[in-house]
């Protein structure tokens, strides 16, 4: 993803977390500085902007090592976060169910564990002085044991969640109901499409990671034919590895899907990069071989070649087919908010599983 697009996305994450962006800066280097990630000159530049912008936090778009984060905080005299920490904070604020809370807490603890040393650095500097030998290291080891024990308990509880989900999936499979799983970059409109296709009363917000817990609804044709439609957490570039690991119990819902419905934000200026991120994440999860249908959402915000706004789904035929790797010949546009193309998509999905009894659409 281009640097400017990545920073724009980072700014959106900052605002989602409740912050305000007061400035941005970029540095191009052949390799990160081992001590501070950025060079000393850039550190001085950021420090000098403190009086003008009155910033209280500096957020890096890439992952920082524990030592880099500590060194930067000591130099800049403000809180320093990387993209991973910011995303973890957003997930923590969005966790509503016990399952989501367990998964987020596990990811947070696994992120924190290698960074504990910085919490007691001030005590280690006094090592050797009378009355101060060892307390920093003792407290550090105590915290490590406590967090390690908590991680073990969380993994055990999440394993119970996995078993419960496996039983639920087994019950659904006994009824032979096909399953479609919504996947896509965060904020592509997956939850809005779930609402439109199934009439589901689920949260649909214009913000990253609005949905953390899987939501499954039945979609029917008005006859006996129906399928289950499941929405899961959205993907994003540079997702913390701790989150992907912690949310594996949730993402297992994708493994048993008969079809993946990849929802793409047709209006995104980083459409190609977002599309590639989703495909790469699916490959990392071992899901790249599952059948997939791609739909381009938010089509009501597009314009025709001459700049004319779309007025109905009949204008979809005049839209060009995006040139993206991995696309099948079948590409569909929809507008979940306007309802354009939703009925046709529903019929297409029903035809996927019950083609012998339905008339194909499109």
Q: Going residue by residue through the chain (362 aa), what tens digit of pLDDT does each one get?
A: 788 899 999 999 999 888 999 999 999 888 999 999 999 999 999 999 998 999 999 999 999 998 999 999 999 999 999 998 898 888 888 777 788 788 888 888 888 888 876 554 443 444 443 444 444 456 777 888 888 899 999 989 988 887 887 787 777 677 778 889 999 998 899 989 998 998 866 555 555 666 666 788 888 765 568 888 988 878 888 887 777 777 776 677 788 889 999 999 999 989 999 999 999 988 888 888 889 999 999 999 998 877 888 888 888 888 888 888 777 667 799 999 999 999 999 989 988 888 744 444 44
Residues 6+ apart with CB under 8 A from 339: 196
Kindly provide the b/e burial profile for residues 285-321, where b requires at least 16 CB atoms within 10 angstroms of the residue's own CB. Answer: bebeebebbbbbbbbbebeeeeeeebeebebbeebee
**Residue 274 CB-half CA count within 13 A:** 24
| Nearest one of 102, 358, 99, 46 to 232, comparing CA atoms | 99
Classify residue 192 by its DSSP letter.
Answer: H
Q: Which residues pair with residue 262 across a beta bridge?
A: 183, 294
User: How far apart (Å, rounded) are the C-alpha atoms in residues 282 and 63?
Assistant: 21
User: How far apart (Å, rounded) are the C-alpha atoms in residues 115 and 109?
Assistant: 10
What pLDDT score does 330 carry? 75
What pLDDT score does 166 carry? 76
What pLDDT score does 298 carry? 95
Q: Which residue has the tokens 């992952």?
A: 63
Q: Which pTM was predicted?
A: 0.81
């Amino acid at each position: 993803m281009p640097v400017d697009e990545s920073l724009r996305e980072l700014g959106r994450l900052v605002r989602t977390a409740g912050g305000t962006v007061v400035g941005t800066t970029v540095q191009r280097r052949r390799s990160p500085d081992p001590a501070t990630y950025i060079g000393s000159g850039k550190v001085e530049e950021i420090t000098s902007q403190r009086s003008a912008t009155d910033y209280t936090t500096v957020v890096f778009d890439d992952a920082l090592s524990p030592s880099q984060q500590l060194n930067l905080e000591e130099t800049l005299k403000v809180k320093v976060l990387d993209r991973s920490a910011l995303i973890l904070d957003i997930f923590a604020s969005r966790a509503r169910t016990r399952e989501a809370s367990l998964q987020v807490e596990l990811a947070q603890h696994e992120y924190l564990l290698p960074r504990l040393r910085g919490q007691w650095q001030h005590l280690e500097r006094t090592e050797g002085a009378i009355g101060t030998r060892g307390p920093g290291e003792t407290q550090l080891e105590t915290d490590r044991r406590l967090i390690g024990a908590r991680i073990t308990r969380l993994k055990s509880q999440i394993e119970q969640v996995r078993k419960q989900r496996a039983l639920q999936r087994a019950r659904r499979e006994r009824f032979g109901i096909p399953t479609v799983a919504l996947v896509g970059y965060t904020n592509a409109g997956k939850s809005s499409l779930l609402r439109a296709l199934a009439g589901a009363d689920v949260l649909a917000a214009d913000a990253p990671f609005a949905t953390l817990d899987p939501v499954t609804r039945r979609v029917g044709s008005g006859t006996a034919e129906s399928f289950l439609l499941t929405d899961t957490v959205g993907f994003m570039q540079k997702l913390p590895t701790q989150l992907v690991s912690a949310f594996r119990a949730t993402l297992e819902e994708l493994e048993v899907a008969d079809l993946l419905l990849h929802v793409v934000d047709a209006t995104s200026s980083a459409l190609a990069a977002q599309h590639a991120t989703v495909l790469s994440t699916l490959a990392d999860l071992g899901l790249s071989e599952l059948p997939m249908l791609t739909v381009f959402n938010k089509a009501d915000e597009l314009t025709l070649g001459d700049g004319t706004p779309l007025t109905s789904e009949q204008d979809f035929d005049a839209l060009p087919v995006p040139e993206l790797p991995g696309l099948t010949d079948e590409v569909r546009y929809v507008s979940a908010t306007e309802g354009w193309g939703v009925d046709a998509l529903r019929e297409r999905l029903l035809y996927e599983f019950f083609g012998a009894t339905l008339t194909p659409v499109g």
